Amino acid sequence: MCCRGRLLMQPERPPLLLLPLAPPAVMYVDRHCCSPHGQSQVRAMFLEWDELQVRLDIWHFMQRFAAGVNSEAHPLYGLFMARLSSCIFEWDQEDVAALRRAKQEELLAAGMGAVAEAAINKRISRRELALHCKRRTRGVEVTTREIKALIDELDSDAGRDMLGVPLLDHEHIQQIWKDQQRHIACIQDPQGVSLYMRTGSLKKGGVELSTYRCARGCTSLESFHLHLNRFIPGTSASDVHFQAYLLDGLMRRL
């Protein structure tokens, strides 16, 4: 006699002690961060989390301004986006000073002698800055002033290429700026929440530098959208089947 199937009984295990988890302190979203007519949709969904702070992801905020350019192939597009980021963020000066010292010591060890600060800055990559230096937002007042000055500058003759083609679509960028001013408060770092975790350290030029991982924003989760397309076959799955496909895909990703 053959058995077509059987139940595999798991050995008995002692019950797990589940401790209550504290509710999240901050949630980053790509929309519905605030509302001019009371609570935002996101905040209304989590009313029981009294201390939850809802923040707009800064990458998505910047992409809204990118929609106001005439072409991403314009030679000033990269400069515009880099300066827009500088309007929002500032680097921790102590971390940057330590990284500069490390670079200076590396150059001295290589026999290059004293090097000007400007030359040292050029040798520091964006990856090194992100790895060893923390950033923080500049505050509503400063960010508002800096972004307005940037738009005013590049929405003029200074924002044209050698053929006279403007970087910014005047009417579009002015409307974007009008709409996005109220969101500047939504992109500021949350009060009382540490967004950086020290993951270790390494030595450069004999100087020990801390390494950090940042929890700001939701861009680290964007690639997960690609996996969702692989989890869910087709576009007409029922609610039950959708959840089954999703759970199966999540378990296979763990």
User: What is the model's pTM?
Assistant: 0.78
Centre a 10 Å sphere on the Cβ of residue 132 and count the other Cβ atoms it contains: 21
| 3-state secondary structure at position 17 | coil
18: part of which helix (H) or strand (E)?
none
Pairing of strands 53-56, 26-29: parallel
Walk along the chain (254 residues) and give the pLDDT tens digit of each residue.
333 333 334 445 565 556 677 888 899 999 889 988 878 888 888 888 888 999 999 999 999 999 999 999 999 999 999 999 999 999 999 999 999 999 988 888 877 767 788 888 888 999 999 999 999 999 999 999 999 999 999 999 999 999 999 999 999 999 999 999 999 999 999 988 999 999 999 998 889 999 999 988 876 566 666 666 777 777 777 888 888 887 887 777 65
The DSSP 8-state label assigned to residue 136 in this structure reads E
Query: What CA–CA distances, in Å, run from 162 to 72, 76, 166, 194?
Result: 16, 11, 10, 45
Answer whether 184's CB lies under 8 Å from 140's CB: yes
Report the residue count for the chain: 254
For residues 91-111, b (16+ Cβ closer than 10 Å) or e, as one string? beeebbebbbbbbbebbeeee
E strands, the chain, in order: 26-29, 53-56, 89-91, 135-137, 196-204, 207-214
Spatial distance between the Cα atoms of 114 and 120, rounded to a whole number of angstroms: 10
Spatial distance between the Cα atoms of 188 and 92, rounded to a whole number of angstroms: 16
